[in-house]
Amino acid sequence: MDLEEAIRRRRMCRNFSDRPVAPEVVDRLLQRAVRAPSAGFSQGWSFLVLQVASEVERFWSAVADEAWRSDPNLPGLLRAPVVVVPLCSPEHYLQRYSEADKVGHGLTTAGAWAVPYWTVDIAFATMLLLLGVVEEGLGALFFGRDRTAHERLKTEFGVPDGWQPIGAVLVGWPAADWGPKGSSARARRPLSEIVHRGGW
């Protein structure tokens, strides 16, 4: 599959079949993800990978609150056999930008950063993972929860302090009826509205 096709075919999947995903496929997805660019090549990223049924159940117990129990998409989501939680560590960036070649930028405290590159980097890596999912013929949903759910998730899986989940990616084989739903069914904004050539 070429890049153009992978980009065009990538849509969020909210209805998975219960067909398992081979562990080596997940490994390939992760290998691709870490080809992402990274500020100062700090690579302050991690992936919590849950691909055993009991782990995935614990994930859902940690993140699915009452509001989710009534979400019509939930049964289709629960069938996804793999959950990848992308995390970032600001501290990696502060340490990297304290090294001799970077210290001059004045970015040794989190508050000094105009943009939190730790979030940018893990988002780039997650995007590569999502494109890899298309390449493998699989489906994925990236979604986020609130702070409380993220904290519960960290506690449940022993994530050390300093690591921040940016959300979670469900990975699995799409069910027959998986097409764009919810926000994904909205119209794409035209380039004419988005692009400002030569000035705003």
Instruction: Note the residues at the interface with ligand FMN (CB under 6 A).
Output: 11-12, 14, 142-144, 167, 180, 182-184
CA dihedral sign, ordered 151, 153, 158, 163 = negative
Of 107 and 122, CB closest to ligand FMN: 122
Rounded least distance, CB 90 to ligand FMN, Å: 18
CB atoms < 10 A from the CB of 137, how many? Answer: 11
Of 106 and 180, CB closest to ligand FMN: 180
CB atoms < 10 A from the CB of 178, how many? Answer: 19
Of 95 and 120, CB closest to ligand FMN: 120
Rounded least distance, CB 63 to ligand FMN, Å: 10
Of 56 and 133, CB closest to ligand FMN: 133
Rounded least distance, CB 54 to ligand FMN, Å: 24
Of 188 and 196, CB closest to ligand FMN: 188
CA dihedral sign, ordered 171, 177, 180, 182 = negative
Burial of 169: CB neighbours in 10 Å, binned 0-12, 13-18, 19+: buried
d(CA 72, CA 15): 10
Rounded least distance, CB 84 to ligand FMN, Å: 14
Q: For residues 26 and 169, is the Cβ–Cβ distance under 8 A?
A: no
Rounded least distance, CB 23 to ligand FMN, Å: 26
Rounded least distance, CB 198 to ligand FMN, Å: 28
Helical residues (DSSP H) of the chain, grouped into ranges: 3-9, 23-33, 53-63, 66-69, 74-78, 90-96, 117-135, 147-156, 191-194
d(CA 199, CA 187): 25
